Structure 1
Amino acid sequence: MKKMLKGLGAALCVALPFIAQAPADAATASATGAADQTLVQRGAYLAQLGDCAACHTAPKGKPFAGGLPMNTPMGRIYVTNITPDARTGIGGYTEADFARALREGVAKDGHNLYPAMPYPSYAKVDDDDVKALYAFFMHGVAPVQQANRESDIKWPLNMRWPLMFWNMAFLEKGGYRDKPGKDVAWNRGAYLVQGLGHCGSCHTPRGVAFQESALDESGSAFLSGALLDGWFASNLTGEHNTGLGRWSDEDLRTFLKTGANRHASAFGAMTSVINNSTQAMSDQDVAAVSTYLKSLPPVGGTGAAAYTYDPQATKVSLDRPANDAGARVYTAYCMHCHGVDGHGFAPMLAPLAGNPNVLAKDASSLINVTLNGTGDLVIDGVPSPFPMPGFAAVLDDQQIADVLSFVRAGWNNGAPAVGAAEVAKLRQSTQAGR
């Protein structure tokens, strides 16, 4: 589950119907056969669970034809064509080739894939699901002839062979194994979160070699939140302030299906996850994911006391906005959506009081979304009516720092202030090429 914030690059929203492609043509459908179409349909659902479209479909590009840029610590890479085109895609892959690429990060010709492809998570996908995914990509996706683009990573960092040693150190082979003493729902949720959902790819901190610090709940850093590509992916453990500790099971299920609840709204890469993946999950799978995530003990956070709402000091400041630079900006640009009380109009307009993203120690997500806004949540084909606009062209670095400092202190949030230098840094990195 790539999460509540930016995953591995600025993946923009891709229309949900792209996943459920019809067979490439009538001849393909006939050759595949009625029995195999059941497998293809199951594979289409699994591809949604894996959010394959978000990374492998470029904005305005053809489904799964690749080309989307992704930023890594070494430089920019471009995702590959995974349509069944024989020349530029994976049309020449056998099921064994496909399984090796998916679960071990090795392409048909033997070159290693960068771990921006979350194969350490996909290593847990079982054989039956690999078979269904292969059937979908071979018979349920239209072939597109589109050559893959070389990365912008400079020599010698662009050499692939050292990744063999990376895999030896960090890749845990073998599918997910049910945990004894856990019920069916918990194990199903763990399988989806750790495997196809690859939530840890964004929400787990990475080490010096870009490896995830933990791949399951046995590691204390698992899903404790992480900075990636200018966003801070939220803490998904039971931590009270910055995690899911105050979220009910219903809150979490609502967020996964709609991208918004009484605590927060999706933005950044999580918008794409909601649009292309989690809203399509069956109720049973959503419940399983919620069961697993809600079982995780609290980890990380800021060490602050449990959040309690207190509007009084903020209300006084907003009554006299001329005395506070942040309050002046908030009054002019933010208050009509997020309210004097900080509650917003959830779930349509996100609350700021007690919002886990506001309380997080790292303010990158708040800065990024204030500068650049967010894409539309598209639920059942209907775009959200009030997406967050970007203010990069309206507010300078100091004004954004002032208003975010005001928000992070307001309503008893008690989060650290934001500096203008932090805003300037993210403005430069996220506005480049726009």
Structure 2
Amino acid sequence: MALSHPSRPVLLALACGLAALPLLGQAQDGTPPAANAAAAAPHDPQMLRGAYLARAGDCVSCHTRPQGAPFAGGLPLATPFGTIISTNITPDPEQGIGTYSQADFTRALREGRARDGRYLYPAMPYTNFSRLNDEDLQALYAYFMKGVQPARQDTPRTELRWPFSMRWLMAGWNLLYLPGQPYAADASRSAEWNRGAYLVQGLGHCSACHTPRGVAGAEKASSEKSGEAFLAGAVIDGWYAQPLRNTAEPGLATWSQQEIVDYLKTGRTGKTAAFGRMAQVVANSTQYMTREDLGAIATYLKSLGDSSAESAAAADSAAAHATAVALRDGKAEQPGALVYLNNCSACHRSDGQGAQRTFPTLARSSTVAAKDPTSLIRLVLQGSAMPHTTEAPSALAMPGFGWRLSDQNVADLLSFVRSSWGNQAAAVTPQQVAKIRSSLPAPAVAPTQKAALR
């Protein structure tokens, strides 16, 4: 079993890559990937493999600011402890990592220590990267030294408030939360499962966004062996990163392995589409993964949780049909039904089925039924766009309705959608909508009560 074959490396970066602090990353959608940023040594197999790994880890999304040089840093990452500025990881000898040896590079990714010994803040997910094997670390080093153009740009320094400005405090944090060992294969599992586990837990750092965190900012679980909190879903960057466990809605129980692969490869399936920060992850990272790697990811994710939940995820088709008939007949007595008819039914249809791979289905949707409605509220207020990918180049977008819907409108609408067509999720309150609206920039401004749509 070779976990580091060129076609079997690493994956699934949920944008922004946080591993120890609950960061609210500010990466911009559409940041250009930089896997071929330089023409140096174009036929070096190790460098090319490193480029693949860098894409898989989505390094570009956090280390490239808008209109900045690829990997030259400068992207502000907002955290509860202050704003962290991503660093320059080009081979520039002054601002970047040009003077790093392989040993320096390995220590940074495995131990969170810079070349001069300074502790790195775990906004760089070294707790995940510590699981990488030596061969992959060598390939990444080859790529960043030979395949990336050196770059310099004016970038502010990270200045956290006291006491978080004292980097030496990270020594104690590392003792508690840094695994310290590369991934060890489970002999009782298949080679594909082990490859998927290596990808998810390592450079892919999926848990950085999809696992809830404790009071110290560390993930509550780091693998399937450390508890059911692993990949159980979490709010990050103003979006709800859904559970990636094979559990009943809103988990992956209703997803087939092929749907998981298609979602990561194209940003959409027959049921749903990537939105928010996940759209950036697909655009910059996962679409470039081989289907073999994505299949390994799907195999691993589908093994988490109770597989018997798939049979429990069936919905009441008679109730779903009754909802569709009522909407077609113009019967909108239920709060939110009229708002749906006036704003949503043209694309998502009266039966909530949408249009395959164009307008996501709302019926029996794991996204709609999510335990936390944060993402749904933000989608209605602000809108979002599907990622542009090679296999699905049409970056279709949903407009935001925050400019025309009041908090009550949005709450009624989402409560209706979350209880229709077989969905069985909790209602949304106007207070939840107001809280999220207040965190968004204009034009997601609540209309006057008089202008609100009933």
TM-score relative to the length of structure 2:
0.87
Q: Any conservation in 2 of the 1:13–1:375 contact (CA below 8 Å)?
A: no
Q: Which position in structure 2 is the counterpart of 1:370?
A: 380
CA–CA separation in structure 1 for the residues paired with 2:79 and 2:428? 25
Q: Which position in structure 2 is the counterpart of 1:178?
A: 185
Deviation at 1:126, TM superposition (A): 0.7
Q: Which position in structure 2 is the counterpart of 1:26?
A: none
CA–CA separation in structure 1 for the residues paired with 2:42 and 2:345? 58
The answer to whether residue 109 in structure 2 is matched with residue 93 in structure 1 is: no
What are the equivalent positions in structure 2 for 1:311-390 lying under 5 Å apart?
311-315=320-324, 318=327, 319-320=329-330, 323-380=333-390, 383-390=393-400
Deviation at 1:14, TM superposition (A): 3.6
Q: Which position in structure 2 is the counterpart of 1:265?
A: 273
Deviation at 1:162, TM superposition (A): 1.1
The answer to whether residue 37 in structure 2 is matched with residue 21 in structure 1 is: yes
CA–CA separation in structure 2 for the residues paired with 1:354 and 1:398? 24
CA–CA separation in structure 1 for the residues paired with 2:17 and 2:430? 22
CA–CA separation in structure 2 for the residues paired with 1:320 and 1:5? 44
Q: Which position in structure 2 is the counterpart of 1:142?
A: 149
Deviation at 1:149, TM superposition (A): 2.3
CA–CA separation in structure 2 for the residues paired with 1:152 and 1:334? 45
CA–CA separation in structure 2 for the residues paired with 1:253 and 1:294? 12
Q: Which position in structure 1 is the counterpart of 2:80?
A: 73
CA displacement 1:78-125 (0-9 Å, x = unmatched): 211111111211112111111111122122222222222211111101
CA displacement 1:375-418 (0-9 Å, x = unmatched): 44111186434212222223222222221111111112121111
Match of residue 56, structure 2, among 39, 46, 49: 49
Q: Which position in structure 2 is the counterpart of 1:415?
A: 425
Q: Any conservation in 2 of the 1:189–1:292 contact (CA below 8 Å)?
A: yes
Match for 1:69: what amino acid?
Answer: P
CA–CA separation in structure 2 for the residues paired with 1:58 and 1:5? 12
Deviation at 1:138, TM superposition (A): 1.1
Deviation at 1:137, TM superposition (A): 0.8
CA–CA separation in structure 1 for the residues paired with 2:267 and 2:42? 37
Q: Any conservation in 2 of the 1:6–1:228 contact (CA below 8 Å)?
A: no
Q: Which position in structure 2 is the counterpart of 1:199?
A: 206
CA displacement 1:326-381 (0-9 Å, x = unmatched): 12221122111111111111222111111111111110111122222224411118
Q: Using a 3 Å threshold, how does the CA distance of structure 1 residues 115 and 223 change in structure 2: closer, same or farther?
A: same
- Pick the structure with more helix per residue: 1
The answer to whether residue 282 in structure 2 is matched with residue 274 in structure 1 is: yes
The answer to whether residue 414 in structure 2 is matched with residue 404 in structure 1 is: yes
Match for 2:387: what amino acid?
Answer: L
SS in 1 for 2:235: strand
Q: Using a 3 Å threshold, how does the CA distance of structure 1 residues 38 and 14 change in structure 2: closer, same or farther?
A: farther
SS in 2 for 1:22: coil
SS in 2 for 1:21: coil
Q: Using a 3 Å threshold, how does the CA distance of structure 1 residues 4 and 156 change in structure 2: closer, same or farther?
A: closer
Q: Which runs of 5+ in 1 are unaligned?
A: 24-28
Q: Using a 3 Å threshold, how does the CA distance of structure 1 residues 179 and 5 change in structure 2: closer, same or farther?
A: same
Q: Which moved more, 1:320-329 or 1:331-340?
A: 320-329
Deviation at 1:155, TM superposition (A): 2.3
Match for 1:166: what amino acid?
Answer: W
Deviation at 1:433, TM superposition (A): 12
Q: Which position in structure 2 is the counterpart of 1:163?
A: 170
CA–CA separation in structure 1 for the residues paired with 2:392 and 2:413? 31
SS in 2 for 1:412: coil
Q: Using a 3 Å threshold, how does the CA distance of structure 1 residues 128 and 6 change in structure 2: closer, same or farther?
A: closer
Aligned residues between the structures: 422
Match for 2:398: what amino acid?
Answer: M
Percentage of pairs with the same residue: 47
TM-score relative to the length of structure 1:
0.90
**Cα RMSD (Å):** 2.5
The answer to whether residue 139 in structure 2 is matched with residue 132 in structure 1 is: yes
Q: Which runs of 5+ in 2 are unaligned?
A: 1-11, 445-454
The answer to whether residue 237 in structure 2 is matched with residue 244 in structure 1 is: no
